Structure 1
């Protein structure tokens, strides 16, 4: 199975979730948020195709990484290959973060996206809004975005914010 990527996987990220992480940068995004941090990932024909087995093999070689992050672009535009990568990551005991311009509630309504959520530990959801950007925010770009504990949310059938979003709330950032 193939996945369209914006770039080679970053295996040493410290900004796309807690700890040392691998980041899978997907290509293609329908949101086109003004002032997006990764506008080069919007074009669905951009980037390159990669066999998911190449990414899964990369997981076998990691040593210190604690997790994997699906970013982009819009990762939930390619849920099927990411499900397979997520399964392999879980076997390696990696935590999984995903960034999406879609809201959690929207992802629940899409069968394949809902299946991918079954493997995701933390979801940063919502479109980036430049007017709500703040540099003190941890792991998200704008105040409207939520950092969601996906497994707790699935269990409780409501959005449960992650401890990381609670830390952002303590900053008392004014809009």
Structure 2
């Protein structure tokens, strides 16, 4: 897996001050995507333990609320495999920091029987607190929306969704 960039101070992609990892590779190719350069799976730098260590160090300060995964597309099967060690280590070292993930897939696509459910999907979902799902749809673009670009996208509280076995939307507290 490759990644396009890491922002060690990000206030746009989730609540509070965050560390954001923009992975490379996306098959959605949404018109007017904000990060078209990251569509290419070969763009950027190799994602490895050294990269994970950099992210873990960036998460250390108490003012950092958590980690956000974006892209590209974090939930492409090849990226799921690459991200799993990161999520395992973040949860172990920082159990109180939250993890957000942006995906152009629907939550249902990630579940057993879904089009991108793979051997790592269930474990990845178990580490996420918030999943912003759905492709960016230009005709539904709304710049007034918080933490999403188009009206079709949902901000899902993954923990509560898993407990209730039905989609529970995030309600900012």
- Sort the TM-score into its range (normalised by shorter chain): 0.7 to 0.9
Following TM superposition, by how much is the alpha carbon of 1:50 offset from its aligned partner in structure 2, in angstroms? 2.5
Structure 2 partner of 1:39: 36
Of 75-84 and 19-28, the range deviating more from structure 2: 75-84
Three-state SS of the structure 1 residue aligned to 2:20 is strand
TM-score normalised over the length of structure 2: 0.88
- CA RMSD for the aligned pairs? 1.5
- Which string of whole-angstrom CA distances, capped at 9 and with x for unpartnered residues, describes residues 86-113 of structure 1? 1222221320000000000001131322
Of 96-105 and 81-90, the range deviating more from structure 2: 81-90
Count of aligned positions? 162
Structure 1 partner of 2:4: 6
Structure 1 partner of 2:148: 140
Which ranges of structure 2 fall in alignment gaps of 5 or more residues?
A: none
Of 123-132 and 50-59, the range deviating more from structure 2: 50-59
Structure 2 partner of 1:95: 98
Runs of 4+ in structure 1 displaced over 6 angstroms?
none
Aligned pairs for 1:51-90 within 5 A: 51-61=48-58, 62-63=60-61, 64-77=63-76, 78-90=79-91
Take 2:52 and 2:162, find their aligned partners in 1: how far apart are those partners?
27
Structure 1 partner of 2:18: 21
Take 2:157 and 2:49, find their aligned partners in 1: how far apart are those partners?
26
Aligned pairs for 1:145-164 within 5 A: 145-164=153-172
Three-state SS of the structure 2 residue aligned to 1:142 is coil
The answer (yes or no) to whether the contact 2:7–2:21 under 8 Å persists in 1 is yes
Take 1:53 and 1:119, find their aligned partners in 2: how far apart are those partners?
21
1:106 to 105, 109, 114: 109
Which ranges of structure 1 fall in alignment gaps of 5 or more residues?
A: 168-175
Take 1:104 and 1:52, find their aligned partners in 2: how far apart are those partners?
28
Three-state SS of the structure 2 residue aligned to 1:160 is coil
Following TM superposition, by how much is the alpha carbon of 1:57 offset from its aligned partner in structure 2, in angstroms? 4.1
